[in-house]
Amino acid sequence: MNQKNEKVCIMGLGNIGLPTAHYISKHYPTIGYDIKEQAILKAHQTGIPATSNPTQADIYVIAVNTYFRNNTPDMSAINSCCQNISQLNPDALVCFESTLQVGTARKMANTHNLKYIAVCPHRWWEEEQTEHGVKQLRVLGTLNNESLNKAQQFYNTLQIPTHIVSNIETAEATKIAENAHRYVQIAFAEELKIIASKNNLNFDEWRAAINTKWNTALLEARDGIGKECLPKDTAFLASLAQDTELLKGAMKTNDNYVQQFVTKTKNS
């Protein structure tokens, strides 16, 4: 089959999945899948056919949410998608663009007898979609050489550049480390603001002075580290080993910062 005639199913039509579906639909016949009626309706309203029933496809792009619940990564939505794919077309190329805990993709391949697996995590940023939208350099790791060939053809057709790593675990770990790095950077700024408040220093002036050094780029300290990705991915990374004191300290710093600067402000 000519690759551009292959059907692509986007599994998960949320903040990442829907823009992904729109982008891929310019290159392939595309259908969306989601269990939420509101997501399906939004897809239809924006021109993407979508269904609540898993559908046959040649390529599946998994973009569902993952979670950190009860002090452990929750990959249940990923497992559900893979179970459906195994019943529909176990020979399909399965591209994980969701954030995964390390080891998830290989476990899904083994559990559901999926032959062609690629991990190519998204780097999509809502606030700057021109430079940081669906089309940008990404990391790509695959299960085997056959998966690599299929995935490279797919992403090359999409004109999405990829940095190839030797295995799927490295690709999974790269995504969570990227966001954990950002979390730690923000937490350091928050810690300095806490220190400033206890020592009668003007944090904004102090930050501006610090950033005059050529290799320093101290971030702002705003309203705490919110949304889902950064806190979740930092927790994913911290769960991979016992001695992750830097990450745990950053999470504690953010909790302290929110208590001192955000919660008090809202209650005042």
- What pLDDT was estimated at residue 187? 98
Name the one residue in this structure whose structure tokens are 């999405």: 160
pLDDT digit string, tens, across residues 92-108: 999 999 999 999 999 99
pLDDT at 242 over 80: yes
The domains located in the chain, with CATH, are 3-166 (3.40.50.720), 173-267 (1.10.1040.10)
Report pTM.
Answer: 0.94
Cα–Cα distance for residue pair 85/94, rounded to 1 Å: 8
Share of the chain above pLDDT 70, in %: 97
Q: Would you give the end-to-end CA distance of the chain in angstroms?
A: 64
pLDDT at 1 over 50: no
DSSP string, 89-140: -TTSEEEE-S---TTHHHHHHHHHT--EEEE------TT-TTTSSSSS-EEE
pLDDT at 195 over 80: yes
pLDDT at 2 over 80: no
pLDDT digit string, tens, across residues 6-40: 999 999 999 999 999 999 999 999 999 999 999 99
pLDDT at 80 over 80: yes
- What pLDDT was estimated at residue 84? 98
pLDDT at 128 over 90: no
Are 49 and 79 contacting, i.e. CB atoms less than 8 angstroms apart? Answer: no
Are 169 and 102 contacting, i.e. CB atoms less than 8 angstroms apart? Answer: yes
Cα–Cα distance for residue pair 164/152, rounded to 1 Å: 9
Cα–Cα distance for residue pair 143/123, rounded to 1 Å: 21
Strands 116-119 and 138-142, how do they pair?
antiparallel
